[in-house]
Amino acid sequence: SAGEGVLLDLDGVTMRFKGLTALDQVSLTVHEGEIRGIVGPNGSGKTTLFNVISGLYHASGGTVRFGGTRIVGMRPNRLAHLGMARTFQNLRLFRNLTVREHLLTALDRTPTRWAWRYVLWPFGVQHGEKFLRAEAEQLLDRFGLAPFADAIPYSLPYGIQRRVELARAMSAHPRLLLLDEPAAGLNGAEKAQLAEIVGSIRDSGTTVVIIEHDMSLVMSLCGRVTVLAAGQVIADGLPTEVAANPQVIEAYLGR
């Protein structure tokens, strides 16, 4: 059974693709309120780990628990309803929707939204629509997107596009947010803003697991860091401990 405050628990998770073992007996425990860093050389299995946790891949072996519930085999949609959200390495934004419309469509899919519809029936859709719009405005404010609400994301600086993706992932108030290389392609100022936003997401009660290559960002943001190499966990601990670990240094230099 899960310990006190454990939100995500992986036990001996293995993921095989034909001849390749992308994850080999991975165990890790993330506590409620953490910002956990996942680092490791290219091809070490980080994205595969996220794909297993978020239900895109069905683990070949091992157990994954989210809030105490076994989730291996559950579809991404179901996991979203249980309170899991993620972003992808490559932005997945639409070319025909404004920033506000991105948030409105995301909000329209959340369970809360459907609850409101039910509660407000028979006044119906109109009232529900009002709540939806108000929530979208809140998200715009919270993520500093209000000035760009009517713009198409692809016309905006990359750092702002990333923020749209974050806002969209946060629309359902998830318990767990998985971020796959959110700082890739950002400049220094944008990275600093991102760090601030991720910190505030955690402070608002969402646990964060973040795959990130930028070590200074990992060091400043993460309470604990898990290091993968060739599909195995080779270190797990405080950022300073992990950075000084000879096996970790070897894994990076060995390539």
Name the segment binding ligand ADP (CB under 6 A); options: 36-44, 68-76, 128-136, 195-203: 36-44
Instruction: Tell which residue, 48, 51, 43, has the closest CA to residue 76.
Output: 51
Nearer to ligand ADP, 58 or 109 (CB): 58
Name the segment binding ligand ADP (CB under 6 A); options: 44-52, 98-106, 186-194, 197-205: 44-52
The alpha-helical segments, DSSP class H, found in 43-93 are 46-53, 76-82
Hey, is 226 helix, strand or coil? Answer: strand
45 binds ligand ADP (CB under 6 A): yes
Exposed/middle/buried for 92, CB within 10 Å: 0-12, 13-18, 19+? Answer: exposed
* CB of 224 closer than 8 Å to CB of 238: yes
- By CB under 6 A, the count of residues binding ligand ADP is 11
Nearer to ligand ADP, 165 or 212 (CB): 212
* CB of 55 closer than 8 Å to CB of 78: yes
* CB of 140 closer than 8 Å to CB of 146: yes
62 binds ligand ADP (CB under 6 A): no
227 binds ligand ADP (CB under 6 A): no
CA 103 to chain centre: 17
How much helix, strand and coil, in percent to the nearest 5, is found in the chain? Answer: 40, 25, 35
37 binds ligand ADP (CB under 6 A): no
Q: What H or E segment, with its residue span, contains residue 14? A: strand 6-17
44 binds ligand ADP (CB under 6 A): yes
Name the segment binding ligand ADP (CB under 6 A); options: 16-24, 168-176, 186-194, 240-248: 16-24
Selected binder of ligand ADP within 11, 17, 76, 244 (CB under 6 A): 17
Selected binder of ligand ADP within 33, 43, 185, 223 (CB under 6 A): 43
The residue ranges that bind ligand ADP (CB under 6 A) are 17, 20, 22, 40, 42-48
